[in-house]
Structure 1
Amino acid sequence: MNDADYNVDVLLIVEADIATTQLTEQLLSECSSLSVRYKKVYLTELDEQVLSSNALPLFVRTADPVAISWMQCLRRSNIPYFYYIDDNFWLIEGDTALAKYYQHPIIRRSLKFAVEKANVVITNSVALREFILPKNRNTVLLPAFFDFSLLRSDDIEATSEYRIGFAGSPSRDADLEVLKDVIPYFLAKRSDVVFEFVGCLPKWLEQCSRVRFFGHMSSYAEYIAFQEQRGWKIGLAPLGDKTSNRYKTNNKYREYSAFRCAGIYTDSESYIDSVVDGVTGLLINDNVAECWIAAIERYLDDDQQRLAIADRAYNDVHSRFDIVVVATQWATLFQQGARLLSNSKTLPIHSSLWDKFVRSLTHYWLLVEISMYEGGIKLTLSRALKKIFRVFTPNKKR
């Protein structure tokens, strides 16, 4: 029997509905036509019954000690699990709450177990796969994707503005430092140029009529619709030289190209295998302001070239990263996982009272430490009271 003959049930295990979770759900939904079904459960909903459903567990970028406790139960019961990770959490630097979280000894131990004991680790980056391979030889590289069905080209706003944009999380602030002299240069030189930022506005930049900021959007579909509607002509993708940036995916290339937005990218591991300089985008070899100014001017001075690059990039992403194309590769791996699960001599899952106590203790201890770092006793008490309040109120849809 071939792997493709298997009907696959995947148990998608997540901490929250972050962008990575929503993207994974999109992919699994697309896999439904390839005999792959899925059920999403939150980490807080896991129990012995859920994990005994004869579905292949897929943990998404979690290093929470609660998840690790359940992974240990799976190992004891000889039930395989897959682990998906899309960033290098070992090398996150700085003193932000996110960095402190992943630098915490509990999280480091949890991440180590999650990766080393997984039957398969899934990554989207060549560099990240190479980093993880010494920890787990069953680390595979699967392409990331873009869901073109989310696009509504008739909703693009008609405007005389020449919009240049960037989209990313607040953690990308340092990467935008290279634009500190770039943006004022074009605001002074071109009255039609407008800079727009989604999710992250540099600390050194103030909003005005031609510098706009739009906050984080929790729904990925809404974010795509919004960004497409803005009709950016140029998309910026600077990456600083910090080590963790080497392991990021080509996310900006896929999104900008899908919007037919001509991109400018730092020449880094994230883009060298995707972007062909002068063909599907512009690559910045020397990540300094002068080079960014030259690249933007190249687009501004030659609109025909900009449109040609945007069209070629769109066609490239559609042929290589369309969710329909990528889903077949992911489905093949899940079918192999179904064979592995069916051939395993599994045992009933059992989690003792002591396991549950340790799981809860480490989880809440960690939450307290992070809250104390972020905002001291006031924030910690506030979060504790909110959690207690939720216990005594009816459950609401997430």
Structure 2
Amino acid sequence: MSFSKINFWIEGDISTTRIVSRLLNDVSGEGNCDTRLLSTVGWSSLVSGVNIFCRSCDPRYAWLPTYLREHGIPYAYYLDDNFWKITGSGELARYYKSAEVVMSLDAFVENASFVITHNKTFAEFINRRFPDVKCELLPVPFDTSLIRKIAKKLAVKPARDAVVGYAGGYKEEEFALLQEVVEQLGKERPEIRFEFIGGVSDELRSLNNVQWFPGFSDYSQFLEFKMARNWSVGLAPLMESQFNASKTNNKFREYGGCGISAIYSNTTPYVECVVSERSGLLVDNNVADWVEAIKRLVDNPQLRETIKEESFKYVELNHSHESIIPAWREALDRISHDSERLMSSRIRFNYVKHFHLSGMSRVAKRMEGATATSIYGFVLKGKLKSLLNRAPVRKLIKAFAFVALIAAGLYLLKAGIM
């Protein structure tokens, strides 16, 4: 392993960044992955290790990818969602659809040494959009060692009445489907209860057979709570779209890793990993099929046990940290850089960042091409100007000038008398 430290740059603390950060800590050695907000990016950190930017596309940093390439700082770019094809009309969708965000996203992808993704369909999309960009299809992580620690803490509970669960964010189309499913089962099988962790619609939450729990900011607490609910069945509906076809099999990893038998939409990315009747049930996206699949799994404990065992085996073999660390290390070993470590490089970067974030892009671009002498001159000029603008300093200079003037007058007077 040619690197000793990883800088993992994120725009916000979300489940994806927590999952990948846990893996990178194991890839680099405990404590050698520094997860930082993009807003804190600085030259000293950038030159201290291998850099990975995660889902970065903040328009305020659209200048950064080109700057890094021109100054000898290669980086990997991590992307697990096809933001170019995002659907919906919510605030998040509107953000990623905006022209300036797309432009920034393009810049981060185009200037990366390679793009890390997990989905072949998505990698092919990126290569069509950016023919010169290399994609690394690396296995997506799931920390099974964390699951074992949680399992030791949880007391074995007796089987509950049938409880069907969903854990994840709100999805408009998927929740419209689930609402009809839950309503129908409320009439046909009122003993079946439904629980939602995180996302839920107002309509679902108002149903008598539904209980809702808020999401968690701590990923390990989220997994522990989900396992403690002791669900009979987990749900993973996903509508067909170009955006969804680029996703990872996150629900399968979590349900399988947590020992929950689950039902999945018969779409990518689940058709690539779920063997129906063995490691899960694959069903088409219609109410009748989902209702029948839930009833079947609730009523068949032997099938549930088979799915639990097979899905956990698959997750451990293909997604555990122990099994995928070699592939990640091999990829990150290929990132090497010959970056400038001069004091002037650090000062230049700080000023370029400051001017870009202040909306003074023209000044920032002039600073990018400035010589070391010009940079030091600029800094000294700024320091002197700041010093002179301080009221006490101005008074001191005026007093010194007054004393000097009197001294000069006395000297001349004495010289004239003599």
Superposition TM-score, scaled by structure 2 size: 0.78
In structure 1, the partner of 2:201 is 202
**SS of the residue 2:6 aligns to:** strand
Q: Distance in 2 between matches of 1:58 and 1:188?
A: 51
Q: Distance in 1 between matches of 2:270 and 2:106?
A: 28
Q: Distance in 2 between matches of 1:315 and 1:296?
A: 23
In structure 1, the partner of 2:192 is 193
Letter paired with 1:351: F
Structure 1 residues 189-211: Cα deviation after superposition (integer angstroms, max 9, x where no partner)? 33431101111112321345631
In structure 1, the partner of 2:20 is 24
For structure 1, list consecutive stretches of 5 or more residues without a partner in the other structure. 364-398
CA contact (8 A) 2:236 2:262 kept: yes
CA contact (8 A) 2:233 2:298 kept: no
Q: CA deviation at 1:266?
A: 0.7
Q: Distance in 2 between matches of 1:356 and 1:308?
A: 57
In structure 1, the partner of 2:359 is 361
Letter paired with 2:168: G
Q: CA RMSD in A?
A: 2.2
**SS of the residue 2:85 aligns to:** coil
Q: Which has the higher contact order (CA 8 A, sep 6+)?
A: 1
Q: In the alignment, does 2:166 pair up with 1:166?
A: yes
**SS of the residue 1:252 aligns to:** helix
Q: In the alignment, does 2:71 pair up with 1:77?
A: yes
In structure 2, the partner of 1:129 is 123
Cα distance, 1:357–1:128 mapped onto 2, change above 3 Å? same
Letter paired with 1:331: R
Letter paired with 1:316: Y
User: 1:41-56 residue pairs with structure 2 within 5 A?
Assistant: 41-53=36-48, 55-56=49-50
Letter paired with 2:112: A
Letter paired with 1:82: A
Q: CA deviation at 1:181?
A: 2.2
Letter paired with 1:146: F
In structure 2, the partner of 1:212 is 211
Q: CA deviation at 1:290?
A: 0.7
Cα distance, 1:355–1:260 mapped onto 2, change above 3 Å? closer
**SS of the residue 1:131 aligns to:** helix
Q: Distance in 2 between matches of 1:206 and 1:94?
A: 21
Q: CA deviation at 1:353?
A: 4.1
Q: CA deviation at 1:362?
A: 9.3
Q: Distance in 2 between matches of 1:93 and 1:334?
A: 32
CA contact (8 A) 2:55 2:79 kept: yes
Superposition TM-score, scaled by structure 1 size: 0.82
Q: Distance in 2 between matches of 1:93 and 1:234?
A: 28
User: 1:1-398 residue pairs with structure 2 within 5 A?
Assistant: 4=1, 6-33=2-29, 37-53=32-48, 55-134=49-128, 135=130, 136-151=132-147, 152-154=150-152, 155=154, 157-170=157-170, 172-207=171-206, 210-284=209-283, 286-337=284-335, 340-341=336-337, 344=338, 349=345, 350-351=348-349, 353=351, 356-361=354-359
Cα distance, 1:21–1:36 mapped onto 2, change above 3 Å? same
% identical aligned pairs: 30
Letter paired with 1:115: V
Letter paired with 2:291: I
Cα distance, 1:214–1:76 mapped onto 2, change above 3 Å? same
Q: CA deviation at 1:270?
A: 0.8
CA contact (8 A) 1:280 1:313 kept: yes
Letter paired with 2:26: E
Q: CA deviation at 1:65?
A: 2.6
Letter paired with 2:163: R
Largest Rg, 1 or 2? 2
Which 10-residue stretch deviates more, 345-354 or 224-233?
A: 345-354
Q: CA deviation at 1:157?
A: 4.6
For structure 2, list consecutive stretches of 5 or more residues without a partner in the other structure. 362-418
CA contact (8 A) 2:9 2:38 kept: yes
CA contact (8 A) 1:173 1:203 kept: no
Q: Distance in 2 between matches of 1:27 and 1:67?
A: 26
